[in-house]
Structure 1
Amino acid sequence: MGTLIQRFTVASAMILAVQCQPQFMEYIERRLSSFEDRIAVWYDQTQRYSSEYRGFKNQILALVESLDKEKEEQRSNLEIATSRIERLERELDYLENRNPAPTCLEMEEKIINQTAETAQEKKKRKQKVTECAEVVFNIKAMKIVKRLESAVGLWTKDLMSDSEKVYIFDGVSNDTIYEFTRLKDFTDFSGLVKGKKIKLPHSWAGTGHIVYRGFLYYIRSEPQFQVIKFDLKNQTVSDSGMFPAERQIPVYGLSPYNYIDLAADENGLWAIYATRENEKHICLARLDHRTLDIEQMWDTPCPIANAENAFVICGTLYVVYNSKLRSRSRVQCVYDVTEMVNTDQAPLLYFPKRFGSVASIKYNPKEKQLYSWDDGNQIIYRLTMKLKSEL
């Protein structure tokens, strides 16, 4: 009996399966069709995205190619401009050699030819020095007077004297300087053979020295920084003083041998220096030329970086910086202790020619000229002045 029931159950299940099979197959077919539709949509989207990507890639490649072409054009234009500038500089040098610039030594020739100066002229000049309120308006002429072997050095005259003597500091450190009776003796003979040797009691360091009112003021670096006042007439040390600044660093970024640069103008003696406390900017101090005491000190906004040298005129500091062009240096920072003139107001000053690196610049208040040592060349720059109140 049980066997019959079992057989009947299996038979019923088989009949039921046969009856449900068309519905199951229809369900399976619907699911497969749905999958196929989704796959078709995915394929279409993939194809569209791939097409858009290829289009975007082609656009980018076209832009890159265009940029490369433009870069090459700009590079070609830059090379052409550089070539033109170099050719122009060569032509200017050629013209200068054929037609020399107006001499900067007119003042010296006048002094040589003049036997005496009237009392009225002396009074006017003294009044002008006392009431100095001028600013450099232009560098109007230059003259190369000689070339020595040393790329770095200093040459100057007594900045506040009628003396015609010329003093040479050859190199960046020594205990001997050279004295020439007049500029002609210096320029007419090669080298320093005609110069009188003056041996100093201490070695000088850098190119920051000056001759002022019959005295040589020079920098001694060892054992620590000192300003030495040397009487050129008696050949003796008249005074010396420790420079009060601590932790000093080179004052010019492109002249690492200068820690203190002495300058003189119509108002007196100055020291240009830098310290680690203010290591990004140049400092300025006014000295008493009789006692070497510091009268006043200023922190200027003039950066040390890329500075080559500096000079002071009428209480205004002019800092010379190196530009990218090989033959150009310019004054990019001006600091006036009277606050009458600032860098934005001051005229833009370019030096008409540059050989290498400016090792020293000394201003002569009597002649209104700069004495520069540029890569072994001894150069005089003649200045045009203007009243500060007129700017």
Structure 2
Amino acid sequence: MTVFEDSTSSYKSTMELLINHIEPSDFANYQCVAKNEIGKTTGKFQLEELDKNLARPPTFDLETTPGIKFGPGPPDKVELNDLCPPAPICQTTCPDTQKYSQSCKSGLYSVFELLSYKSLDVRPLLSPTVYPGLHNRDLNCLVYAVGKPVYHKSVNSTYGSWMRDPGPSQIEFGHDTIWTTNETDAKHLLEYSNKTTFRLSILSRKYELMYEFMGSAHVVFNGSFFYNKKDEPVVVRYELISRLSTEKTLPYAAINNSTGLYSEKHNYMDFAVDDNGLWVIYGLANSNNTVVVKMDAKDLEIQYAWNISVSHRKAGEMFIVCGVLYVVQSNTETTTNIRFALDLFTNKRVEVDIPFTNPFRRTTMIGYNHKNKELYTWDKGNQLTYPIRYHDQGLANQTNKEEQGTADSAYYNQTGFEVD
């Protein structure tokens, strides 16, 4: 599935379903689903061969049959005066500023608030000599756009996670394997063998964990499930094949009301994976600061740790791409922005202004999958993906592949959910 904006209107987007290598068995009925906070529309269609010489000619003629519309249409156009009524008479006294506080949280104001109205301060969490240090960056890129969200599935659960392993493919697991967790069952990790079984909720495996997890910001990476041990500042690596667990206590991490991450305060640790490996984001104990830890995914050794003067409770969510920390301003506003980014390899702030949407106004999990170049999110029980676009900073005189018009350009907009 490919999604792109309509060039004639910023309020429209177009979805294209591309079916490759069609066999006779593929001629069947299909459906596409569009969903938002208002409702859901399903479009059903039949795939058939366009050959007039067949014994039963096709029922659809591209030259004479107009397009088919599904769902309610847009509202009728109204007069400009109805849209913009006369301005009300100004009050003689000052209005209540609290009423307009949310609309003011944009631009520089939101960044200053994120930094507690102070200069950005980035320093090692402990003495630099404590850490072995970072490896060279595998990919130097900067995100400049987040695409339209694509709907995949919905469950009746505000908190949860869904994950795919961006690491090298394991023999035991196909590249389409999906794992999920449920907020009501912290003892088990659920596995679905492919996209179809995931959509139909047909389990292939159910793992019983040695320790319960907490939160919903976990990851699956290189055949292991990484999560926050319940009620402890501990990272657990659970190997899916051997089903053995390894633990690591994080420095200056605490599990209490003051360290709940982001404005949601549901998670205490936010795990992230990019081309450089495993990261953990958490709140610094007895402080408003944010800690980012880079870990070795095999032995959980801490390679480096940052103490960043970013008030995580003022943020909606965070994620990491190419070693750059991105802060989503709100997880509950339908339209929000990413206006703060920090390059963890250079300790320098990066200027960004990227629109982001929460279509169901309750995003409680954002994870980046560098294999698919997508963000995976959980928004009020809806599992969504967002294609991202980035510039390769390592190629000074060359634009990214999308702008060059190579065959890879469509890959950035694919959902990963093909028609089986």
Asked if these proteins are the same fold (TM beyond 0.5), I'd say yes
Counterpart mapping for 1:232-243 below 5 A: 232-237=240-245, 239-243=246-250
2:306 — aligned with what? 298
Aligned equivalents of 2:233 and 2:367: distance in 1? 21
Judge conservation of contact 1:250–1:257 (CA < 8 Å) in 2: no
1:10 — aligned with what? none
CA shift digits 1:215-255 (9 cap, x unpaired): 11111033x22111111112222x21122224454353322
Shift of 1:260: 1.0
- Is structure 2 residue 234 aligned with structure 1 residue 231? no
Aligned counterpart in structure 2 of residue 254 of structure 1, from 255, 263, 270:
263
- Is structure 2 residue 377 aligned with structure 1 residue 365? no
Aligned counterpart in structure 2 of residue 374 of structure 1, from 379, 384, 390:
379
Judge conservation of contact 2:177–2:195 (CA < 8 Å) in 1: yes
Give the greater-gyration-radius structure (CA): 1
2:330 — aligned with what? 322
2:354 — aligned with what? 349
CA shift digits 1:132-158 (9 cap, x unpaired): 100111113431001111011111101
Give unmatched runs, 5+ long, in structure 2.
1-8, 21-135, 170-174, 400-420
1:180 — aligned with what? 192
Shift of 1:195: 5.0
Aligned equivalents of 1:388 and 1:152: distance in 2? 35
Judge conservation of contact 1:156–1:166 (CA < 8 Å) in 2: yes
Change (3 A) 1:364 1:228: same
Tell me the percent identity: 21
- Is structure 2 residue 280 aligned with structure 1 residue 271? yes
Judge conservation of contact 2:317–2:331 (CA < 8 Å) in 1: no
Aligned equivalents of 1:194 and 1:337: distance in 2? 38
Aligned counterpart in structure 2 of residue 312 of structure 1, from 320, 335, 341:
320
Aligned equivalents of 1:275 and 1:360: distance in 2? 20
CA shift digits 1:176-220 (9 cap, x unpaired): 121000122212x1xx34453221111110012111101111110
Secondary structure of 1:185's counterpart equals helix
Change (3 A) 1:291 1:164: same
Aligned equivalents of 2:244 and 2:154: distance in 1? 31
Secondary structure of 2:198's counterpart equals helix
CA shift digits 1:235-286 (9 cap, x unpaired): 222x211222244543533221211111111111111011234x22321111
Aligned equivalents of 1:219 and 1:292: distance in 2? 13
TM-score for the superposition, normalised by structure 1: 0.62
- Number of matched residues? 267
Change (3 A) 1:356 1:140: closer
- Give the RMSD, CA atoms, in angstroms: 2.8
Runs of 4+ residues deviating >4 angstroms:
none
- Is structure 2 residue 157 aligned with structure 1 residue 150? yes
Aligned equivalents of 1:226 and 1:292: distance in 2? 11
Shift of 1:303: 2.3
Which has the larger share of helix?
1
Aligned equivalents of 1:241 and 1:269: distance in 2? 13
CA shift digits 1:41-75 (9 cap, x unpaired): xxxxxxxxxxxxxxxxxxxxxxxxxxxxxxxxxxx
Equivalent AA in structure 2 for residue 140 of structure 1: G
Change (3 A) 1:182 1:231: same
